[in-house]
Amino acid sequence: MTSSRTGAAGLAALASLVADETRAGFLLALLDGRAWTAGELARHAGVAASTASEHLGKLVAGGLLSEERQGRHRYVRLADARVAQLVEDLAAQVTPSAAARPRTLRAAGAGSAMARGRTCYDHLAGRLGIAVTDALTGLGLLRQDTGFALTDEGVSWFEGLGVPLVRTGRRPLARACLDWTERRSHLAGVAGAALCRHALDAGWCVRIGSERAVKVTGRGERALAELLGIQPDTLR
């Protein structure tokens, strides 16, 4: 088999994994960066536990998920940041249609919360992620004119915040990630992950609901205003 045919077969296999609605739902749920049990994902997708287990087995075998067991529980998570980028990029290509608009107040509220602020695997997204990215750029800490790159001042800013930027593997220090609700790029990569982790650990943001939504706390509003000049009204 030629290399082109091998590549085509691999691409077709990947596409078939993502093409199933239940498996796609699992991948989107796991963009919160946390490990979920098979039972939690089954309830999230509204499918039987046996059905969830079958789908998860395919995703693990296909290299999109990794799994670990603790006692009788089986936990799964996205295999790595590259898989998260793939899922988010694919989701960004899907423009919500009128037929897909939320039909209940609860669904509308959840969608509004996700658009306001959420985690995209391990970095901040939604209006919150865009606001942080714009603020870093406006202060000269991040450059977007030649691709996403932290400036020397940006690296020093992270150091002053007490947030280490530890590179592992080939993951870039800063990377643009297309935001599927804002249709603009927010900060990802090592710096994006480090800032998101610090925001959650420092109590600037808290997770809300069962989705990836996060809410900026009063402490977070004060910190973001002081450090980046982000006005609280833009985060609500």
Range of the domain at 25: 3-79
| pLDDT tens for each residue of 31-79 | 888 889 999 999 989 999 999 999 999 999 999 999 988 877 789 999 9
Instruction: Identify whether residues 156 and 52 lie together within a single domain.
Output: no
- Last residue in a domain, options 44, 79, 114: 79
Which of 59, 79, 99 terminates a domain? The answer is 79
**Residue given tokens 């991040």 in the structure block:** 142
Please classify residue 124 by burial: count the beta carbons closer than 10 Å to its beta carbon, then call 0-12 exposed, 13-18 middle and 19+ buried.
buried
Instruction: Please give the Cα distance from 11 to 94 (Å, whole number).
Output: 19
Q: How far is 221 from 225, CA to CA, in rounded Å?
A: 6
Regarding whether 135 and 175 lie in a shared domain, the answer is yes
Judge if 14 and 32 occupy the same domain: yes
User: How many domains does the chain divide into?
Assistant: 2
Q: Is 158 helix (H, G, I), strand (E, B) or coil?
A: helix
Q: Tell me, what's the pLDDT at 109?
A: 52
- Euclidean distance between CA atoms 182 and 202, whole angstroms: 26
Instruction: Check residue 67 and give its pLDDT.
Output: 92
Contact 220, 208 (CB under 8 A): no
- Last residue within a domain, chosen from 39, 59, 79: 79
Question: What's the pTM?
Answer: 0.75
- Residue 7's pLDDT is what? 76
User: Tens digit of pLDDT for each residue in 116-142?
Assistant: 999 988 999 999 999 999 999 999 999
